[in-house]
Homo-oligomer: A and B are copies of this chain.
Amino acid sequence: MAQVKARAITGFPEWLPQVKRIEQQWIDRIRAVYEHYGYLPIETPAIELLDVLRAKGDIDKEIYVVKKLHENASEKFGLHYDLTVPFARYVAQNQGQLTFPFRRYQMQKIWRGERPQKGRYREFYQCDIDVVDNGKLGLYFDFEVLYAGQEAMKALGIPEFVIGVSNRKIYEGFLEGIGVEDTENSLRIIDKMDKVGREGVAKLLREEVGLEAATIEQALLPAAIKSRDLSFVEEFRALGVHTEKTEAGISELASIMTMVAHAGDANVRADLSFVRGFDYYTGTIFEGKFVEDIGLGSICSGGRYDNLAARFTNRHLPGVGFSIGLSRIFGGMVDRGLLPDLNEPFIDVLVLRTDDNDLPEVVRLANVLRRRGYRVETYAYPDKIGKQFKYAGKRRVPYVWVASRDQAGQFEVKDMRSGEQALGDPETWKGEF
């Protein structure tokens, strides 16, 4: 048989077990927080019909299409590239069987055929919550997904982060108020502040939108406004541009920040500097980053869409959601050596063997301990005892049991951390961890 080089594909992360375990713990912790806020689990297939995935236009080129080998039929299926489109399809399809407001969490891998580069994956986990309601959706939910999302992220023990909150109406209204006509392109450019800097944005606004220097100067003023409290309201009003739209946006943002203040201890601030390019956000927008930049950029995001499932149903279904870029954060921390606890043992007890005939004893002993909740591995061979202890060291196991009883029916138990030896009865023994 010809040999094939064993390799995974660039951009498709894969971890050693001690690392994968921590990723699983992160997923479990996020899930626990989401469930404590009353969010319901759903999981959608990785593969959707292409016409479902095409519901948004601009991402087509990143879709992976899927077909059977040697199949000549035209392309019909694709891998989902986010969890929002499948969620919208799911809600439209099952609307008769769901209770509204419908809160759901969904934590799955998604795929995007991006050009592979450091820190950019083509397969990654996202951990989303969204609420969708029938006809109207109160501003309370904007607060709720934001607050639950940041609680979930705090549960991970990651470096300090802050989530900016803004409202699309504020900047859009402001630009309209100062006479900018092409607000869409202007906002798209202003959103690049992080990447190209203030000068870069000014240059693009001049060259691509044709704004005058004085207008540009004014257009960039809101981007400097950030506050943990409600002071952003006065700062924005001091800029002297008030339209119905800006007032609506400022009022909504102030409500959310008031709720955040009442809930307390949130890694959240009002931040008018970002606008998010995606055209489906219509009100509240979220974007989170590490306070000390480790080069990851946006680590979570979300916002409100006036009508989530317009492509699939005539029902008016406003929604608001929050998405944690789990693989991006996790992979970033792995790459930078920031993960703790890589050496935690996987097991509590290792059972050692003494001779060829002790398997019945080994099997029974291990089973009694497992039924009492311990994680127990058995050494498979009656090797020399020194070799077995060496393996116990490699596995960093806290306790070793030797599978031969003394006359009183007790086993020898060694605490590998202290070196202490004692006799133990598997039915009553208690380990300390």
Contact = CB atoms under 8 A, between A and B. Distances in A.
Interface in A92-111: 92-94, 97-99, 101, 103-104, 109, 111
Interface in A146-170: 147
Contacts of A374: 36
Contacts of A90: 6, 14
A336 interface: no
Interface in A120-141: 123, 138, 140-141
B42 A20 contact: yes
Interface string A38-75: 10111111111101101100001111111111110001
Given A38-B377, A67-B65, A262-B363, A3 B43 contact: no
Nearest to A345: B38
Main secondary structure of the interface of A (DSSP, over half): mixed
Report, as a range, how many residues of chain A touch the other chain.
35 or more
A311 interface: yes
A337 B61 CA distance: 42
Interface string A1-44: 11111111100111111101101100000000001111011111
Contacts of A144: 378, 380
A394 interface: yes
Given A12-B45, A38-B376, A94-B16, A75 B64 contact: no
19 contacts: A1-B310, A3-B311, A4-B52, A4-B311, A4-B312, A6-B313, A7-B89, A14-B45, A16-B98, A21-B40, A38-B350, A45-B123, A47-B64, A47-B111, A60-B69, A64-B67, A69-B113, A103-B377, A140-B378
B63 A66 contact: no
A367 interface: yes
A68 B12 CA distance: 15
Given A16-B94, A38-B377, A264-B367, 6 more contacts: A7-B93, A8-B44, A13-B45, A17-B104, A36-B373, A143-B363
